[in-house]
Amino acid sequence: MSAKADSTKGSHFWHLWRWPIVMGVLSATGLLTALVSDGGWGDWWSWLGLGVPVVVMARFAWAPGKPQRP
Amino acid sequence: MTSTAKMDSRRIKAWTWVHKWSSLVTTVFMLLLCLTGLPLIFHHEIGHLLGTEVEAPDLPKDTPRASLDQVMQVAQALHPGKVPMFASHEPDDDRFWYVTLGDTPLSEVGNKTVAVDARTAAVLAQPKFDEGFMYVMFKLHVDLFAGLAGKLFLGFMGLLLLVAIVSGVVLYSPFMRKLDFGEVRQTRPRAKWLDLHNLLGIVTLVWAFTVGATGMINTWADLIIKYWQYDQLSALLAPYQGQKPPAQLASVQQAAASAAALAPEMKMAFIAFPGTSFSSPHHYTVFLRGNEPFNSRLLKPVLVDAGTNALTASPPLPWYLTALLVSQPLHFGDYGGMPMQIIWALLDIATIIVLGSGLYLWLGRRNPAKAGKAAESGRAAKPETPAPVGQVPEPHAARHETTGGAA
C-alpha cells in the first residue's frame, strides 16, 4: 500500500506497471529460449515463462475478491 | 480542471477512439482466428487420432535409401498426366517423402500428395490435404477460402489487432490507476468484466502481440517468395534468356545429391521442381535446413540446372525470408513440445475471453443519462481510494462506461 499512498510519479509508475512488466519479460524470454535451444533448459524455461502468466490469470480470475497487495 | 488534466483527458479520449474502432473492426475475425487456431495448434496429434498422419515403418537405420527418381516414378504412376511440384520431408522425419503433383507447376487446386517410403519407394499413403475438418479450420484460419486476397485481408486485420493491443496498453494505465494488479471487482458484472478484460489483456500482451505480428508476416508469405524470385533468381536466370525449359528433366536424385554434397552437415528439407513458385523454369531448387536448433528453421537454397544437373548457384537466404521462417514457429507454437502447445492453447483461450469481454463491454455500453448513475455507484464502490494528484478527477471506471467500454 505504501506505493499507493506515495503520490510521486515514479512509485506510481512502478505500482501500476511492475507486474505487467514481469509478465511481459517472462513471456518474451519464454518465447525466445525454446527457439534457440533443442529441448533441455530452453524448453523448460519457455514452459515456465509462458506458464506463469497463465497461472497468474487463472489465480485472479477464479479467486477474485482478495486482491493481492504486494 | 487543470490544463494537464484536460490534456490527459483529451489524450485518453483519442486512444479510446483508436482502441474502440480497431477492436470493433477486428473482433469478429480475431474470434474466428482464435477458434480455428485452437485445433491447428494440435494438428499433428489430431492427425494421429484421425489416422491421417503418415506413419513410416521402422526399418534398420542403415537401410539404403531409394533413388528419388524411383520415388517420383512411383508417385507419378498413381496420377498420370500430373507434373511434379515438390518432394519434401517432415522436419523431424526423413523416412518418407511427400510428393506433390499438380496439373501445372503453379496449380493451386486439384493437387495430389503421395507419401512414399524413402527407403523402399513403397506408397505409404495418399493424404488428402484438401478436405475434412482440419482443412476447413486451416482455410478459415489462413485465407477464408479466398486465396491471396483473403490472406492479405486477414493480414490487415492482424495489423489492426496490433493497433488495438498498443492502444489497449496505453489505456491500461488510466483504467487501472486506482486498482491493484489483478484486482477483479465483484460489485457489478460490468466492473468485473472490465477488470478481467484489463487483467487478461495485459498479461497476454507480449504473447498476443508476437502471435499477431508473426501471423501478419505469414500472410505475406506468397508475396515474399514472389519477391525472392524477382530479387534473387532473375539475375541467376540471365544466361538462360531465350532458352526453353528442358524438355527432359535430368535425374532429381543426382540434383539432390550434388546439392547435399555442398553442405554435408545440413539436412534435406524439400526440392522444388522446375517452374514452381520456389524455383525457376530451368532449375531444381534444393532447400537444405541446418541441424542446429535455431538454424534448423532456416533454409539454404541450392539451384541445380534441371537439364544438365550442373550446380548453378546457392544464393544466401535474404533477410526477408529469414524473417518469414523465424516468424513461423513463433506463430504456430510448435517448437517447445506438448507443454508449450497446451500453454499456447490456454493463452489462445485467454485471448478469446479478452475479445469476448471487450465485445460485451461495448454491446452493454450505457447511454450518457445512465452513465451518470454509474459514476455514482463507481464512486461508492471504491470510496477509500483518493484520486491521485494531477489526474482526471472523475472515477475512471465511470468514465470507461461513458466511452462505451471499448477500452
| pLDDT digits (tens), chain B, 407 positions | 566 677 688 999 999 999 999 999 999 999 999 999 999 999 999 988 888 889 899 999 889 999 999 999 999 999 999 999 999 999 888 999 999 999 999 998 889 999 999 999 999 999 888 888 999 999 999 999 999 999 999 999 999 999 999 999 999 999 998 899 999 998 889 999 999 999 999 999 999 999 999 999 999 999 999 999 898 888 888 888 888 888 889 999 999 999 999 999 999 999 999 999 999 999 999 999 988 877 888 899 999 999 999 999 999 999 999 999 999 999 999 999 999 999 999 999 999 999 999 999 999 886 544 544 444 444 444 433 333 333 333 334 333 433 334 33
Q: Confirm whether B246 is domain-assigned.
A: no
Please report the pLDDT score of residue B122 as a whole number.
Answer: 95
Partners of residue B294 in chain A, C-beta under 8 Å: 35-36
**Based on C-alpha coordinates, what's the Rg of chain B?**
27
Residues on chain A bordering chain B, Cβ-to-Cβ distance under 8 angstroms:
7, 12, 16-20, 23-24, 27-28, 31, 34-39, 42-43, 46-47, 50-51, 53-54, 56-57, 59-61, 64-65, 67-70
Q: How far is CA B118 from CA B72, B262, B324, in A?
A: 11, 21, 29
Q: Confirm whether B190 is domain-assigned.
A: no
A31 CA: distance to closest CA in chain B (Å)? 7
Give the predicted TM-score (pTM) of the model: 0.84
Please report the pLDDT score of residue B204 as a whole number.
Answer: 97
In B290-394, beta strands by DSSP E: 299-305, 311-313
Q: Using CA coordinates, name the residue in chain A closest to B349.
A: A54
* Integer Cα distance of A33 and A45 in angstroms: 7
Q: Confirm whether B359 is domain-assigned.
A: yes
Of A38, A60, A69, the CB nearest to B184: A60
* Integer Cα distance of B130 and B364 in angstroms: 41
Q: Using CA coordinates, name the residue in chain B closest to A40.
A: B336
- Decide if B94 contacts B81 (C-beta within 8 A): no
A26 CA: distance to closest CA in chain B (Å)? 9
> CB pairs below 8 Å between A and B: how many?
108
Please report the pLDDT score of residue A7 as a whole number.
Answer: 52
Range of the domain at B354: 3-42+138-184+337-402
Of B210, B293, B340, the CB nearest to A38: B293
- Main-chain phi, psi angles of B93, to 5 degrees: -150, 105
DSSP alpha helix (H) spans, B220-251: 221-228, 234-236
Q: How far is CA B268 from CA A3, B29, B184, B332, in A?
A: 58, 37, 52, 22
Q: Which residues contact B398 (CB under 8 A, 6 or more apart)?
A: B371, B374, B375, B378, B379
Task: Give the burial class of A40: count Cβ atoms within 10 A of its Cβ; 0-12 exposed, 13-18 middle, 19 or more buried.
Answer: exposed
Please report the pLDDT score of residue B366 as a whole number.
Answer: 66
Put simply, the answer to whether A24 touches B206 (Cβ < 8 Å) is yes
Q: For the stretch B252-268, what's the b/e string if a residue is b when 16 or more beta carbons lie within 10 angstroms of its beta carbon?
A: bbebbebbeeebeebeb
Partners of residue A53 in chain B, C-beta under 8 Å: 203-204, 207, 347
Calculate ∠ Cα B298-B301-B307, nearest 5°: 160
Q: Using CA coordinates, name the residue in chain B closest to A47.
A: B340
DSSP B251: P
Q: Which residues contact B366 (CB under 8 A, 6 or more apart)?
A: B374, B401, B402
* Integer Cα distance of A32 and B47 in angstroms: 27
Cβ count within 10 A of residue B217: 20
The residues spanned by each domain of chain A are 2-62
Residue B66 C-alpha cell reads as: 531409394
Q: Confirm whether B363 is domain-assigned.
A: yes
Q: How many domains does chain B have?
A: 1
Helix (H, G, I), strand (E, B) or coil at B199: helix
